[in-house]
Chain A
Amino acid sequence: MKRAQFSSSLLPYLFLAPQLAVIFIFFYWPSAEAIRSSFFLEDPFGFGSTFVGFQNYIDTLTSPEYLGIAAFTALFTVLVTFFSLAAGLLLAVKADKVIRGSSAYKTLLISVYAIAPPVAGLIGMMFFDQHIGPFVRLAALFGWEMKVGLNYWDTTFAMVFVAVWKQIPYNFIFFLSGLQSIPASVLEAAVIDCRNGLRRFWTVLAPLLTPTAFFLLIINFTYALFDTFGVIDVMVKDKAANNPITLTYKVYMDGFRGNDLGGSSAQSVILMVVVLVLTVFQFRFLERRVHYG
């Protein structure tokens, strides 16, 4: 492979500078600020701030409410990631086989991705409205009295449903392009060796899709942790009450609505650490199984 060389050693840094500046201003600086203020108790207007050491962390991690929200966040992330990956993969495999009108199918499946999260939340909210929601009426036919906004698990169901629905097209696009990049000769050879389509999928297609799947796994994890904020905000209608919320939403509630800067900074630092650990774990242990072809 040819290696490009810069004649001056300063030049590459110069090219990187704008990007680094952006990362510094919008990521490292706020992060450092969050870490700093997580050790203080501060009045919102910035008049007095008292150094409290790790008290904010202790308060957060010993609060049963916070631990409950953390448990829900874990469950929510796993459910959303699993179902949106599974559904995306299934649809991609099926759409890959369609010959007639395939672009129409694909466009229809992808178009959902263009919906902004709050709008998706709004549509979901109407689907699950206690009084007029078609899903609630459907559930009632099966004797399930659905009370989104009052019953914890009903709201969980609705939230996971909307969050998954919103993420399927994204996974679909990547899986589809992953499938299409598999050489036809490999597939044809597989057909000769094995007649069972399902077995062919698991032994040939799935391993060749692992780079895509691994990438999507990380993306979906981050999606479920952070990008579902808009969906949750709309679904709980501004009143979290006993409805399930994720850790990210809790940071927002305590920091922006409750004006507890120290506490919410500590929470966001905890969240940063969690994401860091997860990412390291994914790269160290999962990536080994990825087949890059």
Chain B
Amino acid sequence: MLKKISLAVTAIAFSATTSFAATTNITWWHGMSGKNGEVINEVAKKFNAAQTACAITPVSKGTYEEALAAGIAAFRSGEQPNILQVFDAGAATIINAKGAVIPAEDLILKAGHKFERDAFLDGIRYFYADQSGKFVGMPFNSSAPIMYINTDALKKAGVEAPKTWEDFEAIAPKLKEAGFVPLVQSQLTWEFTENFFSRNNVQFASNNNGYETTEGTTLNVTDPKLEMMFTKLKDWADKGWFGYYGAGWSDNQKVFEENKAALWIGSSGSFGGLQKTAKMPFSADFLPYWGSIQGAGTNSFIGGAALFAMAGKPDAENNCVADFFQFLTSPEIQAYYHKETGYVTVTKAAYELAKKEGWYNEKPVAEVGIKQLMLPSGEWSKGYRLGFYPQIREIMEREYNRIFANETSVKDGLETIKKEGDALLARFAKTAG
């Protein structure tokens, strides 16, 4: 009897170990919720169904910032996940922490896969890469700031959608006369600062936008061109051509949704939600640039987030992460993710696939962000790498609000951003050193 039991126990133990050995479990912490979170679960399910060697478990950690904070805390106590999603502004934090992540490209090559940098859209290639162009983060959910157009409003005013800000100045009085707020936007930092520099091909920060070194990197926000942009915005706001409702994203979007504004600068990822909430038909076009700036009209930086493979994990798990990255960048999964969420495809092949499937005949707006990212790159439109950047964005938000609340001038506001921002960059250089 006893022998029988011990035999059974051994059998169970044996089968248990074999089943453990068969699948390697990896975890993926992300900062998505709602519909986007559900799609992530769906992608994970597809990966787990497609093969048996690896099993991935996605865990939502709240917002982007919370996911990064959770990842850092976990890393410090040796409990880090295999994959951590980090948003654009947090990229410098994780990339500059040498030894926190394994560059995605190294990981994929080591696992015996091929890796082609050219397969990715130009606007996406460099943002999460190091100076030599090697991919550190794997671009995942990417978006671009684009201009949404209230087609009825433009028809009513009898004008065409602007390509440049000069065009906008020409049509704004007519839009106002037709009873619309001519222009609203949702994030002055991303849409009118970072991507002002990319779309107009102007240098954002010293040391090659911060890519070369953290030492002595300074912001270029007092550039006369940026000052011109904000002087214009303030002027437009005073004339009633531009409506500003604070730093909150949705307070500004709501005006457009309710058919009160003619143009809204939003994210290429906004259109899925906008289709449900907008009370009028809309289309979209590229984020305008200044015709008066030489060499302007280049591609925009990507927004959104990338996936990073955390260091300190066994090889078997790292290989699974590499497999997952391969799976994630396959055209089918990319196209699926693109259609479900509105984020752009990160690879050219996925874009071609979505095009072939006729997705853009159905939803032309979905193509605008991709096309904008595929515009020719300029010297300064590849990306930026600035430490403590989330805090620098907070300084910008504060000063921009003060500008529109008449508490400071454009010049003083930008100078404050430079002064406090440079101090933060210097602090960051010390932490990295």
Contacts and interface: CB of A to CB of B under 8 A. Distances in A.
Interface string B363-400: 00000000000000000000000001011001101111
Interface stretch (A15-23, A199-207, A233-241): A233-241
Given A130-B246, A150-B405, A242-B405, A260 B391 contact: yes
Contacts of A239: 246-249, 394, 397
B407 A152 contact: yes
B72 A149 contact: no
A266 to B, nearest CB: 12
Contacts of A65: 395, 398, 420
Interface stretch (B133-141, B280-288, B424-432): B424-432
Contact of B398 (A44, A59, A63, A241): A241
A48 interface: yes
Interface stretch (A78-86, A109-117, A158-166, A249-257): A249-257
B402 interface: yes
A46 B76 contact: yes
Nearest to A262: B431
Contacts of B222: none
A243 to B, nearest CB: 7
Contacts of B402: 242
Contacts of A240: 247, 394, 397-398
A48 B390 contact: no
B405 A152 contact: yes
**Most B C-beta atoms less than 10 A away, residue of A44, A46, A59, A242:** A44
A131 interface: yes
B244 A150 contact: yes
Interface string B129-164: 000000000000000000000000000000000000
Contacts of B44: none
B391 A47 contact: no
B327 interface: no
Interface string A249-286: 00001101111101100000000000000000000000
A102 to B, nearest CB: 43
Nearest to B69: A256
A287 interface: no
B240 to A, nearest CB: 14
Contact of A253 (B76, B394, B424, B431): B394
Nearest to B101: A45
Contacts of A258: 388, 390-391, 394
B313 interface: no
A152 B245 CA distance: 13
A242 B245 contact: no
B197 interface: no
Contacts of B430: 41, 50, 52
A67 to B, nearest CB: 13
Interface in B413-433: 420, 423-424, 427, 430-433
A257 B246 contact: no
Nearest to B90: A259
B405 A149 contact: no
A43 interface: yes
Interface residues of B, number: 47
A212 B432 CA distance: 52
Interface of B is mostly: helix
Contacts of B68: 259
B72 A242 contact: no
Range of interface residues on A (Cβ < 8 Å)? 35 or more
A45 B76 contact: yes
Contacts of B388: 258-260
B98 A47 contact: yes
A131 B65 contact: no
B12 interface: no
Interface in A34-75: 41-50, 52, 59, 63, 65
A261 to B, nearest CB: 9
Contacts of B25: none
A262 B431 CA distance: 9
B310 to A, nearest CB: 10
A43 B401 contact: no
Interface string B72-111: 1001100000000000000001101111100000000000
Contact of A238 (B63, B404, B431): B63
Given A47-B100, A259-B72, A150 B246 contact: yes
Contacts of A48: 431-433
Interface string B248-287: 1101001100100000000000000000000000000000
Contact of B75 (A42, A45, A149, A152): A45
B97 A44 contact: yes
Contacts of B427: 41, 59, 260, 263
A177 interface: no
A213 B102 CA distance: 59
A151 interface: yes
Interface string B331-371: 00000000000000000000000000000000000000000
Contacts of B65: 256-257
A167 to B, nearest CB: 25
A137 interface: no
B54 to A, nearest CB: 26
A44 B72 contact: yes
A106 interface: no
B394 A43 contact: no
B431 A41 contact: yes
Interface of B: 63, 65-66, 68-69, 72, 75-76, 93-94, 96-100, 244-249, 251, 254-255, 258, 388, 390-391, 394-395, 397-402, 404-405, 407, 420, 423-424, 427, 430-433
Interface of A: 41-50, 52, 59, 63, 65, 129-131, 147-152, 237-243, 253-254, 256-260, 262-263
18 contacts: A41-B427, A43-B97, A44-B72, A46-B75, A50-B433, A59-B423, A130-B246, A130-B251, A149-B247, A150-B244, A237-B247, A240-B397, A241-B398, A241-B401, A258-B391, A259-B68, A260-B388, A263-B427
Per CB-CB distance, the 8 closest pairs between chain A and chain B, nearest first, are A149-B246, A241-B247, A239-B247, A242-B401, A241-B397, A258-B391, A45-B97, A150-B246
Given A47-B98, A150-B246, 12 more contacts: A43-B431, A47-B97, A59-B427, A149-B246, A150-B244, A237-B248, A239-B246, A242-B397, A243-B247, A253-B394, A257-B391, A262-B431
